[in-house]
């Protein structure tokens, strides 16, 4: 094989010399009339005849070697030999295209595309890819591709991800050289691989999308019309990308789409000015989007901001063997600073425009956590911080949806981060907001309890205000430590009232249990920050006995109204569980002074009787999966029966 490769290289050099001598001879024949000496003509003619005789002899040797070495061995039993044959054949075609770039030799590559060995298929794809990178050789492969088109298309679904990515790059090269080589359905089939889990495959599909969908029309700007500038072209390409996502019958994974175009179309998915200009376009404007298009563009924007900040693909997408390409740290820092500087200016306007739509404003609230908030001090952008905090305050007061409230709480948490430049303005604003919510909740709870004691009932409006205020406080309690507002005592009095009266609405119990759960967690966090000797005292300050009693009585709440309250009940009991676990362990099992009620026993009976009780570290995996150990453990925590090493003492 190597001998044949050397002969092909020598013959290619001879053919090149022959073409050069022929060209020089023609030039000298033209200039002969101008008095040039005939000596040069004789030398060039002699060289030309020498080059004409040598290739014929070498070609005969090559043909003989090919028939006696390659033909018997290209389908050898050993896959290593088949790999060598395909690799050498690709090398021969590149070195000596005058002889080997013919269907009589290309057919072997086409046949071996069906080989069972992945390395052989990879060699064939790489050989074809090298040929299609040059237009001269690509124009001679039309008949070959027509015969093996279906096989090459099917190899995009190969079991080896490296083969799929190389095959997609090959198809992209083919689409560049031939017009109309793929039908519309075939392009749709290829475009869907931008959502593939293998990143090189998704990037290759993204390059194909950029080539076929996002490229400007070829005749644009003719007949006296000026071509559109870069910004207008990006606007049109962004609209095209949105329509592609909406019209495609693929998985709805915007982060995968953005990552697939991250390297293929950086001027599009990293163009923050273009995306925000489309979102801020007034209704009825020339570039205005529909509501559905705005929703998709917001998802694209947030996914691109996340990837620009974190510098890694979304979860579930696998990198290639070569790994991610290293990016210059200075360049990445500069891009992140420019992105942060842009969004701290436009974020208040975006929140103001989409404040009424919870589906659009919720993802926009994720942007602050990906920005460098130090730009507020470095660039003198403090007025934009005031505007952003004002919009957050308006959103909290306007919405009662849990997703929006939690997103607002996380955004406040980002701004209130200690050590950040926004902490000085954001922390007082957050405290004022919580003060306002507590001031609204306290008189409402007092009036409610008084009315219930007198046998009266509050109207739907007042109950709705109580529920919405509790929901807001629970959302903020999940992110901020609100222990200074004594919400635990208010929730404890409310749940104790329900325990004795039994007339509390389910949604109020739901929110009260959430606040109690977060209060316990924040107390545990505060306790763990102290010295080990003070851990027990820090947790005892909350007092696990009373939450266990309340939790035990609320175990069956909502049984007749669906599962809405059971998981929050478990959340509260999980807090009691953690509180009991952090207590100092006695040498012998201790029973907390609380007796399990009838409702707890009824809930325990379906799973506690036929199954033995294990310790927390002794439960087999299959039992944990099939029986749901977390639920029984939460129920048992309400009885307060704990043994050594966290084992439950059954009896």
**243-265 per-position pLDDT tens digit:** 999 987 666 789 999 999 999 88
pLDDT of residue 641: 42
pLDDT of residue 205: 94
Listed in sequence order, the residues at least 6 apart from 479 whose beta carbon sits closer than 8 Å to its beta carbon are 406, 409, 410, 412, 413
Q: What does the mean pLDDT of the chain come to?
A: 77
Least confident of 5-14, 32-41, 350-359: 32-41
pLDDT of residue 580: 52
Task: Give me the domains of the chain, ranges plus CATH numbers.
Answer: 2-179 (1.25.10)
Per-residue pLDDT band for 46 (boundaries 50, 70, 90) equals low
Q: Answer with the residue of higher pLDDT: 162 or 287.
A: 162
pLDDT of residue 464: 84
Task: Tell me the mean pLDDT in the region 485-495.
Answer: 86
Alpha-helical runs (H) found in 280-401:
291-310, 329-353, 358-364, 375-378, 382-398
pLDDT of residue 20: 73
Alpha-helical runs (H) found in 133-194:
135-138, 142-154, 161-177, 184-191
Least confident of 37-41, 126-130, 442-446, 504-508: 37-41
Per-residue pLDDT band for 629 (boundaries 50, 70, 90) equals very low
Least confident of 91-105, 146-160, 300-314, 547-561: 547-561
In this predicted model, what pLDDT tens digit does every residue of 565-624 receive, in sequence order?
Answer: 444 444 444 445 544 544 555 554 444 444 444 444 444 444 443 434 344 334 444 334
The yes-or-no verdict on residue 272 having pLDDT over 70 is yes
Task: Tell me the mean pLDDT in the region 296-320.
Answer: 91
What is d(CA 351, CA 399) in angstroms, rounded to the nearest whole number? Answer: 13
- Pair 238, 274: CB distance under 8 Å: yes
Listed in sequence order, the residues at least 6 apart from 646 whose beta carbon sits closer than 8 Å to its beta carbon are 581, 615, 616, 617
pLDDT of residue 399: 92
Least confident of 285-289, 317-321, 603-607: 603-607
Q: What angle do CA 421, 476, 356 make, to 5 degrees?
A: 90
The yes-or-no verdict on residue 216 having pLDDT over 60 is yes
pLDDT of residue 55: 66
Q: What percent of the chain has pLDDT over 70?
A: 69
pLDDT of residue 31: 61
Q: Answer with the residue of higher pLDDT: 518 or 458.
A: 518
Rg of the chain's alpha carbons, rounded to an integer?
37
Q: Answer with the residue of higher pLDDT: 166 or 492.
A: 166
The yes-or-no verdict on residue 335 having pLDDT over 80 is yes
Place of tokens 């903020």: 476
pLDDT of residue 53: 61
In this predicted model, what pLDDT tens digit does every residue of 154-200 receive, in sequence order?
Answer: 999 999 999 999 999 999 999 999 888 999 999 999 999 999 999 99
Task: Tell me the mean pLDDT in the region 440-464.
Answer: 79
Least confident of 22-36, 40-54, 68-82: 22-36
Per-residue pLDDT band for 99 (boundaries 50, 70, 90) equals confident
Give the closest residue to 122 by CA, choosing from 169, 77, 185, 78. 169
What is d(CA 5, CA 75) in angstroms, rounded to the nearest whole number? Answer: 19
pLDDT of residue 221: 45
Listed in sequence order, the residues at least 6 apart from 12 whose beta carbon sits closer than 8 Å to its beta carbon are 95, 96, 98
pLDDT of residue 408: 95
In this predicted model, what pLDDT tens digit does every residue of 73-98 receive, in sequence order?
Answer: 899 999 999 999 999 999 889 888 88
The yes-or-no verdict on residue 532 having pLDDT over 80 is no
């Amino acid at each position: 094989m190597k001998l044949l490769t050397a002969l092909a290289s020598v013959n290619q050099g001879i053919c090149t010399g022959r073409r050069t001598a022929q060209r020089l001879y023609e030039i000298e024949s033209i200039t002969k009339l101008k008095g040039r000496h005939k000596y040069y003509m004789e030398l060039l003619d002699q060289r030309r005849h020498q080059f004409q005789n040598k290739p014929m002899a070498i070609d005969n040797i090559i043909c003989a070697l090919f028939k006696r070495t390659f033909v018997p061995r290209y389908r050898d039993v050993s896959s290593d030999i088949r790999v060598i044959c395909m690799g050498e054949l690709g090398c021969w075609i590149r070195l000596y295209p005058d002889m080997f770039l013919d269907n009589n030799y290309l057919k072997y590559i086409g046949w071996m595309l069906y080989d069972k060995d992945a390395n052989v298929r990879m060699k064939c794809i790489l050989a074809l890819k090298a040929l299609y990178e040059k237009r001269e050789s690509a124009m001679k492969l039309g008949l070959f591709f027509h015969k093996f088109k279906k096989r090459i298309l099917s190899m995009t679904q190969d079991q080896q991800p490296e083969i799929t990515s190389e095959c997609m790059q090959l198809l992209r090269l083919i689409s560049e050289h031939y017009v109309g080589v793929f039908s519309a359905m075939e392009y749709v089939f290829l475009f869907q691989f931008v959502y593939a889990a293998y990143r090189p495959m998704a990037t290759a599909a993204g390059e194909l999308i950029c080539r076929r969908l996002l490229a400007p029309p070829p005749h644009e700007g003719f007949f006296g019309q000026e071509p559109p500038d870069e910004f207008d072209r990006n606007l049109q390409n962004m609209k095209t990308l949105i329509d592609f996502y909406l019209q495609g019958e693929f998985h709805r994974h915007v982060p995968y789409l953005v990552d697939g175009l991250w390297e293929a179309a950086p001027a599009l998915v990293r163009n923050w000015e273009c995306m925000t200009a489309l979102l801020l376009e007034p209704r009825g404007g020339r570039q205005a989007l529909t509501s559905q298009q705005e929703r998709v563009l917001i998802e694209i924007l947030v996914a691109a901001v996340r990837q620009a900040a974190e510098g890694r693909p979304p979860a579930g997408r696998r990198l290639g063997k070569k790994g991610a390409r290293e990016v210059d740290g200075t360049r990445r820092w500069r891009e992140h600073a420019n992105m942060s500087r842009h969004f701290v200016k436009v974020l208040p306007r975006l929140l103001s425009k989409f404040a009424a739509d919870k589906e659009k404003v919720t993802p926009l609230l994720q942007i602050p956590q990906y920005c460098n908030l130090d730009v507020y001090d470095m660039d003198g952008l403090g007025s934009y911080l005031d505007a952003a905090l004002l919009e957050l305050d308006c959103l909290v007061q306007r919405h009662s949806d849990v997703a929006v409230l939690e997103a607002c709480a996380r955004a406040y948490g980002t701004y209130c981060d200690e050590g950040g430049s926004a902490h000085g303005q954001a922390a007082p604003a957050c405290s004022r907001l919580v003060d306002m919510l507590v001031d609204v909740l306290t008189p409402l709870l007092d009036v409610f309890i008084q009315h219930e004691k007198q046998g009266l009932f509050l109207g739907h409006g007042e109950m709705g205000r109580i529920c919405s205020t509790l929901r807001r406080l629970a959302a903020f309690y999940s992110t901020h430590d609100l222990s200074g507002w004594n919400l635990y005592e208010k929730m404890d009095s409310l749940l104790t009232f329900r325990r004795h009266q039994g007339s509390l609405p389910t949604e109020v119990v739901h929110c009260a249990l959430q606040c109690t759960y977060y209060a316990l967690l924040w107390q545990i966090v505060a306790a763990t920050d102290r010295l080990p000797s003070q851990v027990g005292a820090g947790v005892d300050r909350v007092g696990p006995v009373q939450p266990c009693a309340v939790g035990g009585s609320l175990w069956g709440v909502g049984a007749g109204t669906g599962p809405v309250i059971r998981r929050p009940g478990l959340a509260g009991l999980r807090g009691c569980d953690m509180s009991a676990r952090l207590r100092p362990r006695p040498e012998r099992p201790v029973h907390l002074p609380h007796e399990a009620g009838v409702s707890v026993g009824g809930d325990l009976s379906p799973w506690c009787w036929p199954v033995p009780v294990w310790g927390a570290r002794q439960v087999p995996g299959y039992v944990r999966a099939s029986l749901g150990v977390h639920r029984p453990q939460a129920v048992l925590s309400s009885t307060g029966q704990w043994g050594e090493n966290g084992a439950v003492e059954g009896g």
